[in-house]
Structure 1
């Protein structure tokens, strides 16, 4: 396996086209991950998890709820991360919200084992988030706060998100069957573990 790129050599400037393809790829992968997750009737963590829970309980569109719950975090993002990060994140959130509504119209899952599906969700969504993070954006919500804490204090974003997810799943245990919570927790561990191990600013620092 190649050694990590030294910091001095990794401070590259992405072109607009590189940003566009990187963010688009990340959003598509995250969209597919959420389609798999909701097909299984499971939940996830962070802001998306909160939106999924509200969607299940109210019957409202996940895409609409996800877009709305992210709005307060944009104010924090503008101050802490700057306009570029915020605008890119807003675009990603809007695209994901739309994608989760459109993809099921052309993509159907006939059979999927819950364990396999949960692992697929964690890996696919984790890789998608890495692509989005590395092009100076996020999917809003807790991801904004987690990236800021990592950049400011050096605490891995994946660990921060996993801690929040533990609280969310503890609450979900009172609302959903235990099997749903346990499968969902597996997905959160895979997702956040992948981010914690692979999202490091000393390996890759987009400017």
Structure 2
């Protein structure tokens, strides 16, 4: 099969079964990442990081907080990315909310070195997010807001996300112990590195 034929075949998109597998894989990996993160008492960036931090402060479960904090962003997702993306994202957020709680009862660590856990969190979560992106979904939140503001004002989406994460980690600095804050930064860097290296449209064109 020629390169052109391959691209044409991919461009037709995923089947419903492939999408279901992608969403299940992506949310399961991210759920496992959350289990590692919360076991170590760390935080991360974006909406998931906000939900983790709020769960530490309030005592509420991550899944509930994560589901609630994403609710205001769906209309932005619909306006910017369309109905298909918004529905998939809603499903992914709901699945992660449930799976993070379920996996927390099934996966128990007797010992996990913080810096190793932070790196594993970054790799596992990065892989999960890549799967979601490649199946036309996300985990909602600040990424959607960034794209919306970029379209409306010209302010780059990356700067919106960076500004939010800077504020989030500034708050986390006063909430987390010093070492936990450092390992949290490491985990967030690894996640973004995995996505930056691997999330390229010229490598993967199916939607």
Task: Report the TM-score when normalising by structure 1.
Answer: 0.88
Unpaired runs of 5+ in structure 2?
none
Aligned residue in 2 for 1:135? 135
Post-superposition shift, 1:129? 0.1
Aligned residue in 2 for 1:53? 53
- Larger displacement relative to structure 2 (119-128 or 174-183): 174-183
Aligned residue in 1 for 2:83? 83
Indicate the structure with greater helix content.
Answer: 2
1:21 equivalent to 2:21? Answer yes
Unpaired runs of 5+ in structure 1?
none
Aligned residue in 2 for 1:123? 123
What is the alpha-carbon distance in structure 2 between the residues aligned to residue 26 and residue 66 of structure 1?
A: 16
Post-superposition shift, 1:105? 1.6
Contact kept? 2:26, 2:127, Cα under 8 Å? yes
What is the alpha-carbon distance in structure 1 between the residues aligned to residue 151 and residue 124 of structure 2?
A: 24
Contact kept? 2:143, 2:157, Cα under 8 Å? no
Report the RMSD for the aligned CA atoms in angstroms. 2.6
Contact kept? 1:115, 1:183, Cα under 8 Å? yes
Aligned length: 201
Task: Report the TM-score when normalising by structure 2.
Answer: 0.88
What is the alpha-carbon distance in structure 2 between the residues aligned to residue 144 and residue 133 of structure 1?
A: 12
CA pair 151-19 structure 1, distance change in 2 beyond 3 A: farther
Q: How does 1:104-115 map to 2 (within 5 A)?
A: 104-115=104-115
> SS where residue 70 of structure 1 aligns?
helix
1:69 equivalent to 2:69? Answer yes
Aligned residue in 2 for 1:167? 167
Post-superposition shift, 1:81? 0.5
1:204 equivalent to 2:204? Answer yes
Post-superposition shift, 1:199? 1.0
